[in-house]
Structures are given as C-alpha cells and as structure tokens.
C-alpha cells in the first residue's frame, strides 16, 4: 500500500473518530459548553489537558529545538512541565472551589472591578489568538507535505473539523475528543521513538537508550558531543545560554504555563477540589511521557541526520545519492543545499549556510537537480535544515515503515487540532460570557448566551484560519509574548488573589499594568525594533523577561495595596471560603 | 463559629507549610540541579553525561510528577483529618 493511501487512511480514520465523538457529546447548556458540566473524571481530564497543552509546537517543534540547541533546550523541557506543580498547589484547587467559568470571572469578581476584568479579557484573547494561528499553520504543513494538497486547502479542512466539534460540543465535545486525540498523538510520537531507540541503541525505552552505552563503548550523547565539536557546533551537552538567562527563561515558561487561560480553565471541569489537584498530576504524567522522550528523539535524530548527510567518513555524500526524504523536504523549502566547493557532495557543518539564515529559492535547478538559491553565504556549511522537520522527517531518515510515517502525520494533526479547539473555546467564552453576559448585556438568557458563544467560536475559527493561510511574519516572535503576558499579568493576579486577603483592586490593577507594560515594552523593543542582545538587561533575553515583569507585578501590587484601603468584608470572606474544599458542589450550582 | 475559624486557620497554615516544602524541592531539582549547581555536579556521570544534564532533561520532570502526587495525597489526608473535605 502506498504512503499516500496510508496517510489518507490514518488521518481520515482519526477525523471520523473525532466527529463521531462530537455528535455523541453535544452540549445543551452553557455549563456543558463552558466547563463540560463540571463532571469530567480526573484521569480523563488529565488526558484532555495533556492534549490541549501539547500543541503543534510540542509535537513538531520541541524535539527539533532540543536537537539543534542541545542542553539549552532544557529551558523548554523544564519550563513547560514545572508549571503544573504551580497549578496543582497555587491555582487549580482554589479556582475550582471558586466555581466559575473563566479566568476573567475570577479576576473580575475577586477584585470587584470591571477594569481588572477587562485587562484579564484582553490578556486572554491576545494569548489565545497568538497560539491558535500557529496551530492552523501546523495542520497546513502536514497536509501539504503528506497529502500533496496546498497549505490553504489543509488549513480549510482543519477549520471545518475544529468547527464541527468545538461549535457543536463546546467544552464537553472538546474534552472527549481530546482524550481520543491524546491517544493518537502519543502513539504517533512513541512508536517511531521505540523504533529509533531499538535501531540506534538496542534498548526499547528511548529514555534508557539515550544514556546507554553503544557497541563502540560510548553513549549517544558522547558521540554527539564529538560529532558536534568536529563540525564546529557547540558541544551538545554544554549549550551557550548564560546561567542567568536559562534561569529567567525557565521561570517565565513555568509561570507562563501556570497562567495560560486555556490550561487553567481545564481545572474548572472536574467534579471536586481534590480532583483538581490530582488531575494536574495526571496531566503531567501524560505530558511527561512525551517530554521525557523528546531528548532521546532529539539526540538520535541529530546523530542520524549528521551521519546521513555527511556519510560515514564525514566527507559528504553526493547530492544525487541523497535519500528521497532529503529531496522531498527540499521541495517543501525546509531543506536547502548550495554546492559551495563545487564537488557535488553535500557537506553539513556549523555556520549559517545562507545569508540571513533562511534560503531564498530562485525558480531554477542546478547541475545536480538541486533547487538553486540566491543567498548562499561565505560559510563552508552547505546545508540549511529547518528545525521543524526533525520529528516529521525522523521516521524517513531512519527508514522506518510507511505506516509509521502515516501515523506521525495523523499525530501531528491531532496535536494541532486539540490545542486549536481548546484555544478557540477560551476565545469564544471570553466574548460571550465575559464581554456579553458580564459586561454589555447581563439580561440575556442561558440559551442566548450559548448562541453567542457558538457565533463567537465561528468568528474565531475564521480569523484563526485567515492567520493560518496568511501567517504574519511574527508568529514565532509572539510566542514569547504569550508566555510573557501570562507570567507577568494573569499568574500574579490570581496567586495574590488567593494567598493575600489584603490584596485589593488598586494593587492588582496597578501590578498587572506594570507587569504587562514592562514585559511588552521589552519584547517589542528586542523583537520588532531591532534591539540587539548586547543591550539585554542583565543578559536576560526577551523570552525570559516575563519573570522580571512578574516580579515587578508582585512588588508593585503589594506596595500599592499597603497604601490603599483593604478589600470589603464580603471579598475577604470569599477568600477564606475558597481556601477550604468543603462546599464546592454548592458553590458550583449558583 | 470561632472554632470553625481557628480550624480553617490551622488548615491554611498547614497547607502553606506543605506548599513551601514542595516548592523548595521543585526549585532544587530544576533551578538548582538543572541550572545553578550544574558545575558542581559535573563529576557525577549518568549515561554518558553529567548529572546536571540528566536533571535538566529528565530528572526534574519525573520529580515534578512525584511532588504533585505527594501534595495531593497529603492534602486529601488533611481534608479528611480536619473534616473539611467535600
């Protein structure tokens, strides 16, 4: 059976499953639409949270990033998992006890202020849109590479599928679809990892294979370090980020994770407070299965990639002898080769092969049939490899069977769709619940609110699809912004709201504004206005500045609160109440 | 009522101590072993690399899971002991 047919079968089969679940789990009320009726068991919720959390970035890009930056990739590995510890202890149980639908609900009610609610709504919408554009793009890439349709058709197919189950089922539909999507995506990630690990190290478990000693008496990581220094790359296990930057970046990603609205909202869906705590644990187990495998996939992939391109004697392999995956990805523009020394062989080493980093293709072919470019650099490195192809190309590089490749394609689509659906729900909830119901027209009925939520979801899907088809050049840059915003505004506001009875409107609002303002200013200056790394404050990169913004938020909020009147009696008793689990069921009903 | 209040206060301070202890472990494995103390751990080899690298890419994630389940277990016990469970 051909690869194309297999891919159609795997992706088509998974879509049929998602749609079936969506029809079975239609939402009839706002409670079902927003929080799945608050009745999702913790293990299922943990699985859905894991699928919601692990986006195209985790599935497609993370192993590629670790593969290319080695040790520094740990900031992402620890940052995107450590946040769940904060969620389990500092946020989830109390927000569940509070028993509302959204993050702006909590911020608005706790700080008895419309301004605070609006700031939270804006953060929620900006963060979620930033994320969702990237997901739609991920779907498009998979479709164009494996099904040979153009990216736009891929995005539209993805939109229709998400439309179906997000608009119909709301949180209830999304949650049960995500459970299925988790199973698809984790199989798609683990099966090739098992194959690779067996092939490279002889160990079944990739986590063990990475550290195991190979036939030549060395481990994969030692081999990698030697290969890297031979070719002029940084030592794989050393990395080149400074300690302070690693520290701040990890902290920003951890606190950002804990402050992301689409993650927090998942803990409103469980029946009891104790379920909120434990479901963060289940979510992390399901996430860790993938995240602890990532370093192994990254390491094996890197060795395979270097050895395939440079050949066993490290002298380069003739372009005409290159395996088909090399040429397929070249056609997609994610691999490029310029024969700088004119020997017809592909040679890969450190240095940017093309000026400005990315290849600029021209519309003709060279002597060996390669795609020609107009910006080959003076570096001796002849090859450009896009980080994002690592996971998708890995099975092909390692010559795994076709069905594994088809499975990986279905997994990548599942990862992108599950995250997109969760984000779209948060956006539509913010509009129908936080803006319409709570601010503009409080008199609408449950049924009308549900209609608004569905309309908002449709509009959000169309906007997301537009960004997927016409991606703004700044998608990669704004991801730093999403985490920075969450870490510097939402996270401190919620933590202070729970842990300080003294915190009042004035403190929270000024804290959020200072945190937001400083983080946005720093990121915009360095990402969009041409700031250079030597100007970084204390050597902290824009990705890590959310931590500074968060600290400023805490300090300003506490200072201002100490100089202004304490919050009203009734607010203080609400805080006392959310701190103890008893009575959560009643709290949910009103 | 006064009894309820003092019970809630005791429950909260116990919870805060537990959170603090858990956060110390959380920070020690990730920021500590994974980043700050890495040079100190360079002598200890695990699977062809140093212990710091292992903590940064595997060990801290596994510890995080342990912390959450420990915290959930202790809090469930505390809820029951104090009669504050749902």
pLDDT digits (tens, 9 = 90+) for A42-74: 899 999 999 999 988 888 888 888 888 888 889
Mutate to test the interface with A, among B21, B35, B42, B54 (most CBs of A within 10 A): B35
User: A220 and A346: one domain?
Assistant: no
pLDDT, tens digit, 9 for 90 and up, residues A435-460: 888 878 888 888 888 888 888 888 88
User: A296 and A316: one domain?
Assistant: no
Contacts of A78 in chain B (CB under 8 A): 30, 34, 56, 60-61
The reported pLDDT for the residue numbered A588 is 44
Q: Which of A238-247, A522-531, B15-24 has the highest mean pLDDT?
A: B15-24
Alpha-carbon distance of A121 to B25, in angstroms, equals 34
pLDDT band at A510 (very low <50, low <70, confident <90, very high): very high
Q: Which residue, A351, A386, A421, sits at the end of a domain?
A: A386
User: A40 and A13: one domain?
Assistant: yes
CA distances from A160 to A19, A35, A458 (A): 11, 23, 10
- A581: buried, middle or exposed (CB in 10 Å: 19+, 13-18, 0-12)? buried
Q: Which residue, A386, A418, A439, sits at the end of a domain?
A: A386
Question: Do the domain assignments include residue A75?
Answer: yes
pLDDT, tens digit, 9 for 90 and up, residues A378-426: 888 999 998 878 888 888 888 889 999 999 999 998 998 888 888 988 9
User: A64 and A95: one domain?
Assistant: yes
Closest in B31, B56, B79 to A274, CB measured: B79
User: A335 and A253: one domain?
Assistant: no
Residue of A nearest to B30 (CA): A78
Asked whether the predicted pLDDT for residue A23 surpasses 90, the reply is no
Predicted TM-score of the model (pTM): 0.91
Instruction: Decide if B30 and A77 are in contact by the 8 Å CB cutoff.
Output: no
User: A376 and A260: one domain?
Assistant: no
The reported pLDDT for the residue numbered A585 is 52
pLDDT, tens digit, 9 for 90 and up, residues B21-70: 999 999 999 999 988 888 888 778 776 778 888 898 999 999 999 999 99
Q: Which contacts of B46-54 are long-range, i.e. CB under 8 A and separated by 24 or more positions?
A: B46/A211, B47/A210, B47/A211, B47/A212, B47/A219, B47/A221, B48/A211, B48/A213, B48/A218, B48/A219, B48/A220, B48/A221, B48/A222, B49/A211, B49/A219, B49/A221, B49/A222, B49/A237, B50/A237, B53/A71, B53/A74, B53/A221, B53/A237, B54/A211
Please, how many CA atoms are within 13 Å of residue A451, restricted to the half-sphere of its CB? 5
Q: Which of A25-39, A141-155, A192-206, A508-522 has the highest mean pLDDT?
A: A508-522
A352: containing domain: 312-386
Strand partners, A337: A383
Q: Which residue has the higher pLDDT, A332 or A471?
A: A332
Backbone dihedral angles phi then psi of residue A540, each to the nearest 5 degrees: -95, 125
User: A455 and A366: one domain?
Assistant: no
Contacts of B47 in chain A (CB under 8 A): 210-212, 219, 221
Question: Do the domain assignments include residue A305?
Answer: no
Asked whether the predicted pLDDT for residue A267 surpasses 50, the reply is yes
Q: What is the mean pLDDT of chain A?
A: 87
Residue of B nearest to A93 (CA): B72
Alpha helices in B1-86 (DSSP H): 2-27, 51-54, 60-82
The reported pLDDT for the residue numbered A589 is 39
User: A185 and A148: one domain?
Assistant: yes
Question: Do the domain assignments include residue A450?
Answer: yes
Q: Which residue has the higher pLDDT, A217 or B28?
A: B28
The reported pLDDT for the residue numbered A473 is 57
Instruction: Decide if A247 and B31 are in contact by the 8 Å CB cutoff.
Output: yes
The reported pLDDT for the residue numbered A387 is 82
CATH number, position A237 = 1.20.1730.10
Asked whether the predicted pLDDT for residue A465 surpasses 90, the reply is no
Residues 43-72, chain B: which have Cβ within 8 Å of A?
46-50, 53-54, 56-58, 60-62, 64-65, 67-69, 71-72
**What's the structural domain count of chain A?**
2
Instruction: Decide if A580 and B34 are in contact by the 8 Å CB cutoff.
Output: no
User: A293 and A320: one domain?
Assistant: no
- Contact B12/A at CB under 8 A: yes
User: A295 and A353: one domain?
Assistant: no
Q: Which residue, A363, A386, A409, sits at the end of a domain?
A: A386
Closest in B11, B56, B75 to A277, CB measured: B75
Instruction: Decide if A295 and B57 are in contact by the 8 Å CB cutoff.
Output: yes
The reported pLDDT for the residue numbered A283 is 95
Asked whether the predicted pLDDT for residue A504 surpasses 90, the reply is yes
- Contact B41/A at CB under 8 A: no
Question: Do the domain assignments include residue A395?
Answer: no
Residue of A nearest to B79 (CA): A581
User: A267 and A319: one domain?
Assistant: no
User: A423 and A289: one domain?
Assistant: yes
Closest in B11, B47, B61 to A77, CB measured: B61
Contacts of B51 in chain A (CB under 8 A): none
């Amino acid at each position: 059976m051909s690869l194309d047919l297999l891919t159609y079968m795997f992706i088509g089969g998974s879509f049929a499953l998602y749609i079936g679940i969506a029809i079975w789990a239609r939402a009839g009320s706002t409670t079902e639409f927003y929080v799945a009726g608050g009745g999702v068991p913790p293990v299922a919720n943990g699985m859905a949270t894991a699928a919601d959390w692990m986006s195209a970035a985790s599935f497609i890009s993370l192993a590629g990033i670790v593969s290319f930056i080695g040790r520094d990739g740990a900031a992402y590995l620890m940052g995107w998992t450590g946040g769940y510890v904060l969620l389990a202890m500092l946020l989830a149980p109390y927000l569940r006890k509070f028993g509302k639908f959204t993050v702006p609900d909590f911020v608005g009610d706790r700080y008895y202020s419309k301004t605070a609610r609006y700031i939270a709504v804006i953060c929620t919408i900006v963060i979620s849109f930033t994320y969702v554009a990237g997901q739609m793009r991920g779907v498009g890439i998979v479709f164009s590479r494996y099904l040979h349709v153009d990216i736009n058709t891929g995005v539209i197919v993805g939109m229709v599928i998400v439309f179906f189950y997000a608009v119909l089922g709301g949180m209830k539909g999304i949650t049960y679809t995500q459970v299925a999507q988790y199973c698809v995506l984790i199989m798609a990630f683990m099966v090739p990892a098992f194959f690779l690990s067996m092939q490279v190290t002889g160990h079944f478990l990739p986590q063990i294979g990475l550290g195991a000693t190979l036939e030549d008496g060395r481990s994969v990581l030692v081999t990698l370090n030697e290969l890297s220094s031979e070719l002029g790359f940084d030592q794989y296990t050393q990395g080149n980020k400074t300690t302070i930057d690693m520290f701040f970046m990890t902290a920003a990603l951890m606190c950002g994770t804990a402050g992301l609205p689409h993650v927090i909202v998942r803990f409103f869906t469980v029946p009891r407070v104790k379920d909120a705590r434990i479901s963060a644990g289940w979510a992390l187990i399901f996430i860790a299965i993938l995240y602890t495998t990532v370093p192994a996939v990254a390491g094996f992939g890197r060795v395979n990639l270097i050895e395939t391109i440079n050949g066993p004697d490290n002298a380069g392999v003739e372009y005409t002898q290159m395996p088909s995956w090399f040429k397929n990805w070249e056609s997609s523009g994610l691999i490029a080769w310029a024969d700088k020394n004119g020997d017809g062989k592909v040679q890969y080493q450190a240095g940017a092969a093309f000026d400005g980093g990315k290849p600029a293709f021209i519309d003709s072919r060279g002597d060996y049939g390669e795609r020609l470019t107009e910006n080959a650099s003076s570096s001796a490195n002849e090859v450009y490899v896009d980080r994002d192809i690592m996971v998708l190309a890995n099975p092909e590089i390692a010559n795994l069977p076709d069905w594994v490749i088809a499975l990986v394609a279905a997994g990548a689509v599942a990862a992108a769709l599950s995250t997109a659906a969760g984000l779209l729900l948060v956006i539509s909830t913010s509009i129908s619940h936080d803006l319409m119901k709570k601010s503009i027209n409080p008199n609408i009925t449950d049924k009308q609110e549900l209609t608004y939520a569905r309309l908002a979801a449709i509009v959000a899907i169309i906007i997301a699809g537009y960004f997927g088809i016409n991606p703004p050049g700044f998608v990669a840059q704004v991801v730093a912004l999403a985490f920075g915003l969450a870490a510097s505004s939402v996270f401190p506001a919620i933590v202070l709201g729970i842990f300080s009875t003294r915190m009042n409107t004035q403190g929270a609002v000024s804290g959020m504004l200072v945190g937001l303002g400083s983080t946005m200013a720093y990121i915009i200056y360095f990402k969009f206005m041409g700031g250079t790394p030597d100007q970084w404050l204390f050597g902290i990169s824009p990705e890590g500045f959310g931590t500074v913004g968060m600290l400023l938020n805490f300090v300003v909020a506490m200072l201002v609160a100490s100089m202004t009147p304490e919050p009203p009696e009734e607010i203080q008793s609400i805080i006392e109440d959310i701190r103890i689990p008893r009575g959560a069921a009643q709290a949910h009903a009103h | 009522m006064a009894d309820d209040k003092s019970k809630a206060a005791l429950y909260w301070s116990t919870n805060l101590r537990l959170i603090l202890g858990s956060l110390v472990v959380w920070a020690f494995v990730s920021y500590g072993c994974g980043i700050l103390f890495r040079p100190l751990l360079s002598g200890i080899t695990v699977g062809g690399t140093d212990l710091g690298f292992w903590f940064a890419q595997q060990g801290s994630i596994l510890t995080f899971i342990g912390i959450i389940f420990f915290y959930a277990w202790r809090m469930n016990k505390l809820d029951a002991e104090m009669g504050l469970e749902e």
